[in-house]
Amino acid sequence: MPRRIRYAMVGGGRGAFIGGVHRMAARLDDRFELVAGALASDPARALESAADLGIRGYPDFAAMIAGEAGRPDGAEAVSIVTPNHMHHAPAKAALEAGFDVICDKPLALTVAEAEDLAATVRRTGRVFVLTHNYSGHPMVRQARAMVAAGELGAIRVVQVEYPQDWLSTRLEATGQKQAGWRTDPARAGLGGSLGDLGTHAHHLAEFVTGLRVESVLADLQSFVDGRPVDDNAQLLLRFAGGARGMLWSSQVAPGNENALRLRVYGEKGGLAWSQEHPNQLLHTPLGEAPRLLARAVGALHPAAGHATRIPAGHPEGYLEAFAQLYRDAAEQIAARREGRAPDPLCCDTPTVEDGLRGMRFVAAAVASSRAGGVWTPV
């Protein structure tokens, strides 16, 4: 078993949701060991949260990076699980101090910050993995491999949607922590549902098809009174190469908990995948009966097998998909440090360049909507 990679965490302390998810994901394949953290914006709470986990605590990320960089047993990578406005500064500081970085999505608060981070990754040569976790599902990787192998032919239509219902009322006015920062443009950025959910949908569409969104026509709404960011977004998409698509993200769609869904149609057939039923992929070859492909069953592409841990009939889900990104990141980090090429199957992780495209996508959609719904280049 390879040596565990020591890592430190920024954010994710008491009361945080995504920090615990990252910690579980990092532990699942036993490739990482959490050794330190600056786990909250309040220094006292940061230290208390570190004590809860039995790790070295720091009052802020700058102190953590300085302290860990100088220790023989210090962290080798940094995981960033803060609200969006606190991605850029710790990520850049960590990269420049020689750490590899795993960062929650979206990449940054603004396009300018995203461009700076992308330039920093290129300059430092460090591993940077952005946790668009749905790309870690075996059947999503199966879909990507099928498209790349030409099994659908030339892609014509891409439909992707990500509706939820948890912000159908003004939950942020009650003091709920997640609702508070996700609806605050100073901490979330330009996009509400678009930045939170639409970036996942955008990445999933590009990841599976291998195509890039070139321009968008967007109609963004804030249905809940007093909400300064969108809670519903409907977009038309134009992809490089001529494919067309639609994207819908919403936080005000009653009856939808986490209903991310992708459909891809080519000249030879189609594919459909749903996050709420992640172990199945519907393949509809033109003129033939539909085929329901299942994780760990039948002749799947190696990419799907690489992302599968347990036998058929035992479902894998959200945490395993997150863990897949950590496992692949561990191989990339180990390979770079050992001076060898990483396992190619471990290289299908979202990159800083994917994050930059996501930020440009949000900015273009907001500009399009504000202009009354006009085609806007990404």
pLDDT tens digits in sequence order for the chain, 378 residues long: 678 999 999 999 998 999 999 999 999 999 999 999 999 999 999 999 999 999 999 999 999 999 999 899 999 999 999 999 999 999 999 999 999 999 999 999 999 999 999 999 999 999 999 999 999 999 999 999 999 999 999 999 999 999 999 999 999 999 999 999 999 999 999 999 999 999 999 999 999 999 999 999 999 999 999 999 999 999 999 999 999 999 999 999 999 999 999 999 999 999 999 999 999 999 999 999 999 999 998 889 999 999 999 999 899 999 999 999 999 999 999 999 999 999 999 999 999 999 999 999 999 999 999 999 999 999
| Domains: count for the chain | 2
Domain around 278: 138-311+356-377
Residues 6+ apart with CB under 8 A from 145: 301, 302, 303, 304
Query: Are 81 and 208 within one domain?
Result: no
Residues 40 and 15 both lie in one domain: yes
Distance CA 176, CA 322 (A): 25
pTM: 0.97
**Cβ neighbours for 312, distance < 8 A, ≥ 6 positions apart:** 294, 295, 296, 297
Q: Of 18, 58, 53, which Cα lies nearest the Cα of 42?
A: 58
- Asked if residue 121 and residue 171 are part of one domain, the reply reads no
| Residue 326, domain member (yes or no) | no
Return the half-sphere exposure (C-beta side, CA atoms, 13 A cut-off) of residue 155: 28
Which of 105, 126, 147 finishes a domain?
126
Using the 3D structure, point to which of 126, 151, 186 is the last residue of a domain: 126
Is the distance from CB of 192 to CB of 182 less than 8 angstroms? yes
Query: Do 205 and 245 contact (CB within 8 A), yes or no?
Result: yes
Question: Is 259 in the same domain as 368?
Answer: yes
Q: Is residue 369 part of a domain?
A: yes
Q: Is residue 29 part of a domain?
A: yes
